[in-house]
Each structure stands twice: as structure tokens, then as C-alpha cells.
Amino acid sequence: MFVTGGVMSGLGKGITASSIAKLLQLAGQRVSCVKIDPYLNYDAGTMNPVAHGEVFVTEDGGECDMDIGNYERFLNQDIPKSHNITTAQVYSSVIEAERDGRYLGACVQIIPHVTDEIKRRITSIAEDEGLDFLVVECGGTVGDIESLPFLEALRQLRAERGAPGVVFVHVTLAPSLDVVGEQKTKPTQHSVQELRRIGIQPDFLAVRCSEPLCASTRQKIGMFTNVPARDVLSCHDAPSVLHVPQMLHEQGIIDSVFTKMGKAGMVDASANWERWNRVAGSMAAGGPEVRIAMVGKYVTLSDSYVSVNEALRHAGAGAGRTVRIDWIDSEQPGGWGMLSGYGGVLVPGGFGTRGSEGIIGAAAYARDNGIPYLGICFGFQLAAVAFARGDLGLGGANTTEVDGKAEHPVVGLLPDQEGAEGTGGSLRLGSNEITVREGTLAGRTYGRTSIRRRHRHRYEINKDYLERFERAGMRFTAESDGGRRMEALEIPSHRFYLGVQFHPEFSSRPGFPEESFAAFIRAASSA
Ligand code: GLN
């Protein structure tokens, strides 16, 4: 199933793709998702999260588009990095093959060489993983130059495999402009024309709108686009993204897909729905508010930390709380007294010098004022810097990422990365095994001594300072690589002060909040 986008970006193609995949999964199908990103970066690793949204890290260490995170959370299943296909990956393979002499004599071209490579990647995922359905979301908007080779490859797949084997869903917009709220169909008409111009007739239209699509709009769109009106789906505003599968289900998309494939009436998803509805219901239920201050540098786009926001919501639902997240720019002027009104302070991952002094100040304030603190990656490293300055009396303490000549480099380069300072491609990435010490906050939080969590970092705690930290009351209570790397810090005399080198947010799923988030929200709720 191919999901394309029309009219403009930001219509929620990722949520549409995830929701349809979820429906297919609830109908007992083996399903996975792929994201195509037509840009020229090899992966999302070097892209600014404020412009592009968060970089989502997979178990196998891919730095992926944030839609991969949506798929994991919706499907409650790990997605490997091969499921994020970019132009750069495709062209690299083709160029490498050409240099290897594998196309000897041929003039290497976009059609067929690039399109063949795209098709090979998509079909090999579906076949190698034994899937019933693969939902492939094509990034960008129809009409973009960059996405043309991909759409051409998808068109060819449909031509080769026939209609029942390949289904197209096109996501568009029906805006309501005037006071009477008439839903406009022209953007959808034009966008479908653009798609048909390159040879793709959509089977379904998923139409974004603020209010449910009215019957006449549906008819009109269907008439202009050759899509049966019943397959013009209303994707109106919902209380949460987890309600979208239900919304699409009620409009009969699954029956329609199975009918097209000649499998009508073969599925009964009632048992699976119950659990999903419970999860979606608990996420919408709310409860007393708990206020969390999220302190960081990339505060201007809420997508910069989607997984952290989602993990907080999963934990809130688990504790019967509504989590209210306030973004606080670490470069904000003035002191950190404003944090006293919050149930907890969370510092997520980050990179670079800008805003780091502010984060150190916030970590120190939470420590000195008994406010529950959860520091992730950069938030873990800078909590150690704050402690070194405040409690070890090492005024010149810093991470060498911020100050290469720090008098006390309490956080420095990973031992195996000395000399690999360049950005692109020198990070420790993906899932690793971590040993958690019993009888500690980390031990109680996880309730077991061995966990696996994902990483994305270059710097780490400098073990030369460990003894001094421990003597002053900060303990390092989880480690990896046979004790070479510190993975968690805590202050036992504090109500809840936890820092983790890994990224717990990538392991949190609706109905299964990641343990450190759950513990943090419990602590923040019990002020
Ligand atoms: N900048 C830090 C490092 O490279 C932290 C990275 C992060 O927070 N993801 O180690």
C-alpha cells in the first residue's frame, strides 16, 4: 500500500499511514511500514530537529525520520533502519554498482536503474519479512522534483503487479475558508490530477479537514477524481492521533481494501480492537494535571522531541494524570526560580554549546530545590557537570563538547572515538545492553538488572572523576560495555534525581510507558 501526499506538507501523512497499518494489524495481518524520504541526506542524522523534527533512533542504530517513531508506537513493533529509504541511499547503491562494473556497457539512468533499485528495496523488505502488507509512505508532495523517481517506481510496481496487489492512498486537504464553512474540493482535484499526470490513479483519498467531510463534498471529490465516494475518507480533527484508526475503520477502509483484494469477509478483529481501544481510551482519559518543564535548545518546533512528548503522555496515562508540558528555552534570560512551580524538570538530548549553561543552571536548581529531575543524554551529561561545579567544587568542570580545554573534563569523548570529532557518522548509535545496579533508584525503576536501550551520543562520563562524584553523593548506577561506560546517575538524598546516557523515549509505547518516564511522572505527581 502506497501513501502519497498532495496539496502541501504537514497534513499528517505519517499518521494516516500508521493508522491504516494499525487497522491491518488489528485485522490480524502481518504488517510493517516504510518511509521514503526524497531528500539528498543519506539519513536524518545530520538534519536540524527544529526544521525537520526529531531524529528517531532505531534498535539497529538508524538515524531515521520521525515517522519511523510513529510506526513503532502505533504498531508496538520495532522497525529496522532499512525501512527509511532516502534518495542518497538509492543513488549510492546505483553508483557503487556502476563502479563495480555491474552495468557494463549500459548507460546508467534514472529509469530503469534508479527505479529498479527503489523497487528492489521495497519488495525485498516485504518478501524477506514475510509480510501480508507493507505500507509505504512517500515523503514530500506530489509535484516535487525530488519525489518523481520514487513515484515512477511505485507506478511501475502497480503496472507489474496489478491492482489487487498494490493499493494507492493519496492524502489531501479540503479547507473551509468562509464563515459558513463550505469544504473546498479544488486543491484535492488538482492534486489528484497531478498524480494522474504521472500515471497513478489513487484507490483511496484520505482528506484532511477540520470537520467531518460532508456527503456532498465526498460525492463531488469522488466524481472529479474517479475514486468511489465510499473510498473518499474523512480525516477530520481528532482528540488524539490514536483515534485516527477508529475513525478510518468506521468509514469501512479495511472492508474496502480486502474487497479489492478478493478477501472480503475474511477478517475478524474484535479481540484485537479491545486492547487498542483500552490504550487509546486511557491516553484520552486525562486526570489531575502534572506540570513538566522541558528545558532545552530546540524548543520552537514541538516535533523536535516527539518521542519525549509521547513518552511523557504514555507515562501520564499510566499514572492517571494529564501531563502538561511547558517548553522552556535554556537561553531564556533570568534565573531558574520559575521552575519551582513545576512537578518535574526534564532535560532531553541535545548537542553543542548554545544553551548549555542554562541547562546546567536548571539541573542545579532542580537538585538544590528537591524538584524531580529526569536528564536524558545531554541532560544526563550536564547534570554531572552541574554536580561537579556545585558539590565537588570544580568550578572549571564542563563537557569537552562545550569547552575543549575544560580544566575538569568530567564529560569527554568516548574512548574509541578520540580523533573522530567530525559530525556525520561518528556517534554511538542503537541499542546496547545495560547493567543496572540493584538497590538503587535505577534498580527500583527498572525492577531488573539488565535492560536494552538505544543510544545516540559521542561524549560520556569521564571515569577519572567517578570516585569524587560518589564521595560527594552522586552515584552512577548503570553501566555498559563491561563497565567502560556510565549509563545512569542519581542522587540518593534527593526525591527523584535521575540521569540516563541512553534514550528511554525511543522505547516507550502507548500502554507500555518506558520505566524511567513512568517513575519520573509518579515522582512529579506526588509533590
Ligand atoms: N551531545 C551529546 C553527545 O554527543 C549528547 C547527545 C544527545 O543528547 N543525544 O554525547
Q: Any alpha helices (H) in 430-514, and if so which ranges?
A: 441-446, 466-472
Residue-level pLDDT at 507: 97
Q: DSSP label at 11?
A: S
What number does the ligand 1 atom closest to the CA of 456 have? 9
Q: Under DSSP, is residue 38 helix (H, G, I), strand (E, B) or coil?
A: coil
Residue-level pLDDT at 340: 93
- Beta strands (DSSP E) in 187-341 are 204-209, 232-236, 289-296, 322-329
Residue-level pLDDT at 418: 58
Instruction: Compute the radius of gyration of the chain from its Cα atoms.
Output: 25
Q: In what order do the strands lie in the sheet with 475-480?
A: 322-329, 289-296, 344-347, 373-376, 497-500, 485-490, 475-480, 428-436, 450-457
Q: Is the CB of 428 under 6 A from ligand 1?
A: no
Dist CA 504 CA 446 (whole Å): 11
Q: Under DSSP, is residue 500 helix (H, G, I), strand (E, B) or coil?
A: strand
Q: Active-site residues: which are they?
A: 377, 503, 505
Dist CA 135 CA 168 (whole Å): 10
Ligand 1 center from residue 123 Cα (angstroms): 35
Longest pairwise C-alpha distance within the chain: 75
Ligand 1 center from residue 102 Cα (angstroms): 40
Dist CA 502 CA 348 (whole Å): 11
Residue-level pLDDT at 415: 63
- Delineate the domains of the chain, giving CATH numbers in brackets: 2-281 (3.40.50.300), 285-525 (3.40.50.880)
CB 359 within 8 A of CB 373: no
Ligand 1 center from residue 249 Cα (angstroms): 41
Q: Under DSSP, is residue 107 helix (H, G, I), strand (E, B) or coil?
A: coil
Q: DSSP label at 499?
A: E
Dist CA 273 CA 432 (whole Å): 33
- Determine which residue's CA is closest to atom 7 belonging to ligand 1: 349
Q: In this structure, what C-alpha cell is assigned to residue 290?
A: 502534572
What number does the ligand 1 atom closest to the CA of 411 have? 10
Short-list 501, 503, 297, CA closest to 414: 501
What number does the ligand 1 atom closest to the CA of 377 have? 8
Q: What is the DSSP track for 139-185?
A: -S-TT-STTHHHHHHHHHHHHHH-GGG--EEEEEE--B-STT-PBP-
Q: Is the CB of 401 under 6 A from ligand 1?
A: yes
Residue-level pLDDT at 266: 65
- Only one residue has cell 479537514, namely 209
Q: In this structure, what C-alpha cell is assigned to residue 333?
A: 534570560
Residue-level pLDDT at 299: 66
Q: Is the CB of 171 under 6 A from ligand 1?
A: no
Residue-level pLDDT at 419: 54
CB 509 within 8 A of CB 313: no
Ligand 1 center from residue 2 Cα (angstroms): 35
Q: Is the CB of 349 under 6 A from ligand 1?
A: yes
Q: Is the CB of 350 under 6 A from ligand 1?
A: yes
What number does the ligand 1 atom closest to the CA of 401 have? 1
CB 135 within 8 A of CB 31: yes
Residue-level pLDDT at 105: 85
Ligand 1 center from residue 310 Cα (angstroms): 20
CA 55 to chain centroid, in Å, comes to: 7
Identify which of 57, 347, 381 to mutate to test ligand 1's pocket (most ligand atoms within 8 A of the CB).
381
For residue 96, what is the enclosing H or E element?
helix 87-99
- Determine which residue's CA is closest to atom 8 belonging to ligand 1: 349
Residue-level pLDDT at 51: 72
Residue-level pLDDT at 78: 97
Query: Mind listing the pLDDT tens digit of every residue in the chain (527 residues)?
Result: 999 998 888 888 999 999 999 999 998 899 999 999 998 988 888 777 767 789 999 999 999 999 999 999 999 999 999 999 999 999 999 999 999 999 988 899 999 999 999 999 999 999 999 999 999 999 999 989 999 999 999 999 999 988 778 999 999 999 998 767 789 999 999 999 999 999 999 999 999 999 999 999 999 999 999 999 999 999 999 888 888 999 999 998 988 988 887 777 666 666 678 888 888 888 888 899 999 999 998 666 677 899 999 999 999 999 999 999 999 998 877 789 999 999 999 999 998 888 899 999 999 999 999 999 999 999 999 999 999 999 999 999 999 999 999 999 999 996 665 555 554 558 999 999 999 999 999 999 999 999 999 999 999 999 999 999 999 999 999 999 999 999 999 999 999 999 999 999 999 999 999 999 999 999 999 86
Strand partners, 459: 413
Residue-level pLDDT at 45: 83
Ligand 1 center from residue 460 Cα (angstroms): 8
Q: How many helices (H) and strands (E) does the chain have?
A: 17, 21
Dist CA 347 CA 349 (whole Å): 7
Dist CA 106 CA 514 (whole Å): 52
Burial 404-443 (b: 16+ CB within 10 A, else e): eebebbbbbbbeebeeeeeeeeebbbbbbebebbeebbbb
